[in-house]
C-alpha cells in the first residue's frame, strides 16, 4: 500500500479532557502516551505536526468565574492549565524519540519557548512537533480559536479535531440512536444549527481563511493516521 498522504502540514486539536482517560480530572499518563503514539504514527509519514491541547481537564475559565472569580483571572488559570498538558504531551512524545517544542503564547522562558512565528515555522520544517500552549494568550478565547489562529499562521492545510466520536452529528449520538453523521458540512451550517464543532469565533476564523476542519475520533486506534490517508469516517467542515 502506498504511504502517500495529501497533507504536508496539519494542526491537531484535542481537548484537555482527552488526556484524562476515565478519571474525572487531570492527566492519565497511559492516555497521554496512547495519543502520543497516534501522533508518532502520523509523524512517521513525514507530515509536519502542530498541536493545540485544551485545559478543561484541569481548569476552565467559565468554571472559575461561575464561582465568583474574576473572569480574566480564571481564564489565565485556564491558559496555564494548557501549558501543563503541553508539557505532559512533550514528555510523552520525547519518550518516543520525537523532537518536540512547547511554544507558549505567554512567555515563560524557564519552561518553554515564547511564540515567535518564524521560529515555529523553522521547527516544523525540521520535523519537530510544535505544541502551542497558553491558548491565544488572551482571556475570553478558547483553545479552539487558538488552534485555528496558529493553523492559519503556520499555513496548515487543515485542522484535525480529535473527539470522542467520528464526526459531526445532527444530534448527540451518545443519546440518540438515530443521530446522523454528516460527511461534510459548511461553516455556516455549523454556526446556524449550533452544531457544537468548535465555538463560533473559531469557526468564523476558519471560514474566513478557508481552513477545513476535520472532525474524527481519537478513540479509534490508528485513527489519526488513517484519516490523513483518507480512510475511515469523519466529517469535513468546509
Ligand atoms: N483560555 C483563554 N484564552 C485562550 C485559550 C484558553 O482564556 O486563548 C482559557 C479559558 O478559560 C478556557 C481554558 O483556558 O476555559 C481552557 O481551554 P479550553 O476550554 O479551550 O480547553 P478544552 O475545552 O479544549 O479542554
pLDDT tens for 131-155 read: 999 999 999 999 999 999 999 999 9
Burial class of residue 131 in the structure, from the number of CB atoms within 10 Å of its CB (0-12 exposed, 13-18 middle, 19+ buried): buried
CATH code of the domain containing 217: 3.40.1160.10
Q: Classify residue 144: in a domain, yes or no.
A: yes
Residue written as grid cell 515555529: 120
Q: How many domains does the chain have?
A: 1
pLDDT in tens, 167-200: 999 999 999 999 999 999 999 999 999 998 999 9
- Residue of 84, 142, 162, 201 with the most ligand 1 atoms within 8 Å of its CB, for mutation: 142
Q: Please indicate whether residue 78, judged by its CB atom, sits closer than 6 Å to ligand 1.
A: yes
Q: Classify residue 3: in a domain, yes or no.
A: no
Would you state the pLDDT for residue 3? 57
Cβ-contact 232, 223 below 8 angstroms: yes
Q: Residue 4 above 80 pLDDT?
A: no
Q: How far is the CA of 134 from the centre of ligand 1 (A)?
A: 8
Full residue range of the structural domain in which residue 182 is found: 9-237
Q: Rounding to the nearest 10 degrees, give the CA dihedral for residues 80, 84, 85, 89.
A: 140
Q: Classify residue 4: in a domain, yes or no.
A: no
Q: Classify residue 24: in a domain, yes or no.
A: yes
Q: What is the ipTM of this complex?
A: 0.97
Q: Classify residue 2: in a domain, yes or no.
A: no
Amino acid at each position: 500500500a502506498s504511504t502517500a498522504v495529501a497533507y504536508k502540514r496539519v494542526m491537531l486539536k484535542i481537548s484537555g479532557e482527552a488526556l484524562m482517560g476515565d478519571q474525572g480530572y487531570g492527566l492519565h499518563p497511559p492516555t497521554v502516551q496512547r495519543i502520543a503514539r497516534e501522533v508518532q504514527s502520523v509523524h512517521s509519514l513525514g507530515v509536519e505536526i502542530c498541536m493545540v491541547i485544551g485545559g478543561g481537564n484541569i481548569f476552565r475559565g467559565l468554571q472559575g468565574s461561575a464561582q465568583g472569580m474574576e473572569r480574566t483571572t480564571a481564564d489565565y488559570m485556564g491558559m496555564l492549565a494548557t501549558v501543563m498538558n503541553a508539557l505532559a504531551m512533550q514528555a510523552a512524545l520525547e519518550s518516543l524519540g520525537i523532537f518536540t517544542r512547547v511554544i507558549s503564547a505567554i512567555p515563560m522562558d524557564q519552561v518553554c519557548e515564547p511564540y515567535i512565528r518564524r521560529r515555529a515555522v523553522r521547527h516544523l520544517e525540521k520535523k519537530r512537533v510544535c505544541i502551542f500552549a497558553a491558548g491565544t494568550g488572551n482571556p475570553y478565547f478558547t483553545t479552539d480559536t487558538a488552534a485555528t489562529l496558529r493553523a492559519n499562521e503556520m499555513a496548515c492545510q487543515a485542522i484535525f479535531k480529535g473527539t470522542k466520536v467520528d464526526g459531526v452529528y445532527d444530534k448527540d449520538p451518545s443519546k440518540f440512536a438515530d443521530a446522523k453523521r454528516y460527511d461534510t458540512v459548511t461553516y455556516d451550517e455549523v454556526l446556524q444549527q449550533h452544531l457544537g464543532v468548535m465555538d463560533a469565533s473559531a469557526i468564523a476564523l476558519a471560514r474566513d481563511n478557508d481552513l477545513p476542519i476535520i472532525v474524527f475520533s481519537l478513540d479509534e486506534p490508528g485513527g489519526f493516521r488513517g484519516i490523513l490517508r483518507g480512510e475511515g469516517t469523519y466529517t469535513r467542515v468546509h
